[in-house]
Chain A
Amino acid sequence: MPPDSGVCVVLVYPEALGTYGDRGNALALMHRARARQIPCRVVEVGLHDPVPRLGDVYLLGGGEDASMVMAWRRLAGDGALGEAVDRGAACFGVCAGYQLLAEAFTGPDGELREGLGLLDVRCGRLPGARAVGEVLAESEGVAGAGFLTGFENHQGSARLGPRARPLGRLERGTGNGDRRTEGAVQGRVIGTYLHGPALVRNDRLADHLLELVVGELPAFDDGAVRLLRAERLAAVRSAGRPWRRRRRRQVAVQPPSIMKEVPVTESVPGPQRKPTSSATSAGSTSRLIGVRASSTLSSTSSSPMPWLRAWSLI
């Protein structure tokens, strides 16, 4: 498409696929297009509206389980996205959006569903642990995109088939769940687990999507975004300093973003949820009064310490 005709960005079902600020991806494309004097407009598609067939870049964001299934039903019945990609449009899916673009994905109920088939990827469920945290990956599927930074929060995995390439080589985080790769690229279709929003934090990835539409773009150095990237890359790298990596290897081979998945009632924060009230750690309390000892010995009659024995009796 010639640059003067502008770029039409289609934001697909933002009410259902927009749990993690995914509208920001559309804003990033518009911002970077307009910085090059390229007209750009964003069309938001409501859940009951037909998906336009003549868009240039289609964006699908993240969503909760039920929203994802709802969007899947609509998209599968609509058919416009596949037609647009066949016609040459670019497509960028995040998290639930990534899974919807796959050949198949496992729904929240464990049922394997047929995806839109735009990526040669099969998405399953991560065994046990939900992946939550900062991610660092070096771009592999998009030349020149550099290091990719984002925040993941998902239960899904992804297994790439021969027609898809990884979007990035994983350095920190969980990504596709194979400990090596993050996201997928197949022609003009890209899927990733990265929120952030991904196209805000990864400016060259955003430019790549625009270049698929308008051809090569002049350079645009956005100082604020450059600073944000530097901050996030430094943060994720410092979270995986060598001494910490060494410790992880000793304990368990776990990417840093994997957290134990427990019910909300158990995973809620400790009492420092409202930190104005205390700055004392649990450890300091325990050391101070021997809480841990007492909690185990309160049911033990053979305590060697008289005061603990007495405490267990009251």
Chain B
Amino acid sequence: MTSCVRPSTSSVRLQSGVSAFDVTVSRKPTSPRRTLRVVAAARLGRVCEGLSRGTGMGAGGVIGGRVLLALAPRAPGELARDREVVLVSGTNGKTTTSTYLAACLRTRSPVDHNADGANTPAGMVRALAAGSAPVVVLETDEGWLPWAVVQTRARTAVLLNLSRDQLHRHHEVAAVASRWHSALTGVDHAVANCDDPAVVFPALAASRQTWVGVGVRWTQDALVCPRCGQECRRTAEDWGCRCGLRRPTPDWRLEGAHLVGDARRVALHVGLPGQANLANAAMAVVAATTIGADPQAAADALRDIVSIAGRYDVLERAGRRARLVLAKNPAGWVEALAVVAAGTAPVVLAFGSEGVDGRDPSWLYDVPFAGVAGRPVVVTGRRATDMMVRLEMEGLTDVRRAPNVVSALAMLPPGPVDVVANYTAFQDARRELAHAS
């Protein structure tokens, strides 16, 4: 029985203004064997999605996946059978890298992808059920990677980085690395960042590895060897521990805006700003190459992507051109502030601490905010006071506060403004600006 194929809504914005879905090639059904239970559960899930959307309760994708999982708990395995499933996980860069990877792989075949960023089981199973493309790219929450490996029997895992994030839930970075290590014994191939020990250790559990040297700016969670607990020493770009765990020789490495392999040099023309996005692009292109894509063709597919799920979108409001930058944890804020520091625009910092943001915002003190000194700064968000105090401790005294992003923009002169926000504040900002315009 063939499944119902329905287009997924795309959150990728291309330079030309067309949506990514418009350029997706038509899909060829390749997974004909779906049981009646899964098909019926998927249909019921879609009914619930429609109800959720229709009543304005949400986009509906997650509720559809939850219904599907509840009615057919074995659906992930069945829906992944006979398809090339690629899991993309890490603390930062999952959404961008998986979107890039899907774009790269579409140069050779249709691809299904949880482009809405729903990266827990409900979102993943919903993406699996939404189409029947031969390749499925699943952005996977780092805590759910073991589940995804077991359920989808994915052959390839793309492992980006691990650092402190939502410690109220993960407790320790080392614990996540350890669980990844146990889970990845079930994976055939790991495409992994060789500059992060917390990624290298679990990646070694896979049957084979492709190492990519993309660098890491945030090294504060790489002091302790994830294998033995001794000190992991770092010199320039190299690192190693006495237990023998050391930086593998990269098969590919990022050199400026080029990806360099043994016999190839691939130019990366990435539309998104910042070193972190070059690293994401490099990981995606290498992963696509290991699955059979041509490296340069894959890289060229990224050229026109200028916004992913609202990240780096520029929204205009009363003469202020607000560029939205998402930063969810210390490593992410360091990267985001590096992007902001490259310009001179006034800054709005929007900050919350709902569950997905991490309920303990102590980590604000891990982020150096000195880079925004000297330019107008407005803070907003449910935990704006925490941000205000943080900036005061950094020595920034001329900081104003606004009840929301729209009001914050109104306090600033017309022209470009960088709005840096963590997850819920980012979604609030998008909603407010869309509503205001």
- Please list the residues of chain A having a beta carbon within 8 angstroms of any beta carbon in chain B: 15-16, 18-24, 27-28, 31, 47, 64-67, 69-70, 130, 132-133, 151, 153, 195-197, 200, 222, 224-225, 227-228, 231, 263-265, 267-280, 282, 285-286, 288-289, 291, 294-295, 311, 314
Instruction: Tell whether, in the assembled complex, residue A271 and residue B229 are in contact, meaning their CB atoms are under 8 Å apart.
Output: no
Instruction: Tell whether, in the assembled complex, residue A70 and residue B231 are in contact, meaning their CB atoms are under 8 Å apart.
Output: yes
Q: Enumerate chain A residues within 8 angstroms of B410, measured Cβ to Cβ.
A: none
Instruction: Tell whether, in the assembled complex, residue A291 and residue B174 are in contact, meaning their CB atoms are under 8 Å apart.
Output: no
Residue in A16, A69, A271, A295 whose beta carbon sits within 8 Å of that of B118 in the complex: A271
B347-391 residues with Cβ-Cβ distance < 8 A to A are: 355-356, 359-360, 362-366, 385-386, 388-390
Residue in A28, A67, A285, A288 whose beta carbon sits within 8 Å of that of B223 in the complex: A67
Asked whether B48 is an interface residue with its Cβ less than 8 Å from the other chain, the reply is yes
Residue in A23, A69, A133 whose beta carbon sits within 8 Å of that of B366 in the complex: A23
Bound form: Cα–Cα A295–B71 in Å: 7
**Taking the nearest CB of chain B, how far is it from the CB of A237, in angstroms?**
16
Instruction: Tell whether, in the assembled complex, residue A285 and residue B66 are in contact, meaning their CB atoms are under 8 Å apart.
Output: yes
- Please list the residues of chain B having a beta carbon within 8 angstroms of any beta carbon in chain A: 35-37, 40, 44, 48, 51-52, 57-63, 65-67, 70-71, 73, 116-123, 141, 143-144, 146-147, 164, 167-176, 179, 183, 220, 223-225, 229-231, 355-356, 359-360, 362-366, 385-386, 388-390, 392-394, 424, 427
In the complex, residue of chain A having the shortest beta-carbon distance to the beta carbon of B226: A66
Bound form: Cα–Cα A18–B221 in Å: 10
**Taking the nearest CB of chain B, how far is it from the CB of A20, in angstroms?**
4
Instruction: Tell whether, in the assembled complex, residue B224 and residue A66 are in contact, meaning their CB atoms are under 8 Å apart.
Output: yes
Instruction: Tell whether, in the assembled complex, residue A274 and residue B175 are in contact, meaning their CB atoms are under 8 Å apart.
Output: no
Instruction: Tell whether, in the assembled complex, residue A197 and residue B120 are in contact, meaning their CB atoms are under 8 Å apart.
Output: no
**Taking the nearest CB of chain B, how far is it from the CB of A298, in angstroms?**
8
Q: Enumerate chain A residues within 8 angstroms of B48, measured Cβ to Cβ.
A: 280, 285, 288-289
Instruction: Tell whether, in the assembled complex, residue B175 and residue A294 are in contact, meaning their CB atoms are under 8 Å apart.
Output: no
Bound form: Cα–Cα A197–B362 in Å: 6
Instruction: Tell whether, in the assembled complex, residue B171 and residue A130 are in contact, meaning their CB atoms are under 8 Å apart.
Output: yes
Instruction: Tell whether, in the assembled complex, residue A275 and residue B143 are in contact, meaning their CB atoms are under 8 Å apart.
Output: no
Bound form: Cα–Cα A67–B147 in Å: 28
Bound form: Cα–Cα A291–B72 in Å: 10
In the complex, residue of chain A having the shortest beta-carbon distance to the beta carbon of B228: A66
Bound form: Cα–Cα A133–B167 in Å: 11
Instruction: Tell whether, in the assembled complex, residue A291 and residue B70 are in contact, meaning their CB atoms are under 8 Å apart.
Output: yes
Q: Enumerate chain B residues within 8 angstroms of A225, measured Cβ to Cβ.
A: 389, 392
Q: A228-B385, A272-B62, A274-B123 are in contact. Are A64 and B117 (CB under 8 A)?
A: no
Q: A197-B362, A291-B71 are in contact. Are A20 and B229 (CB under 8 A)?
A: no
**Taking the nearest CB of chain A, how far is it from the CB of B154, in angstroms?**
15
Q: Enumerate chain B residues within 8 angstroms of A289, measured Cβ to Cβ.
A: 44, 48, 67, 71
Q: Enumerate chain B residues within 8 angstroms of A19, measured Cβ to Cβ.
A: 164, 167
**Taking the nearest CB of chain B, how far is it from the CB of A86, in angstroms?**
29
Instruction: Tell whether, in the assembled complex, residue A280 and residue B58 are in contact, meaning their CB atoms are under 8 Å apart.
Output: yes
Residue in B147, B179, B230, B360 whose beta carbon sits within 8 Å of that of A151 in the complex: B360
**Taking the nearest CB of chain B, how far is it from the CB of A90, in angstroms?**
20
Q: Enumerate chain B residues within 8 angstroms of A264, measured Cβ to Cβ.
A: 143, 169-171, 175-176, 179
Instruction: List the 5 closest A-B pairs by CB distance, nearest first.
Output: A24-B365, A268-B143, A21-B365, A271-B122, A278-B62
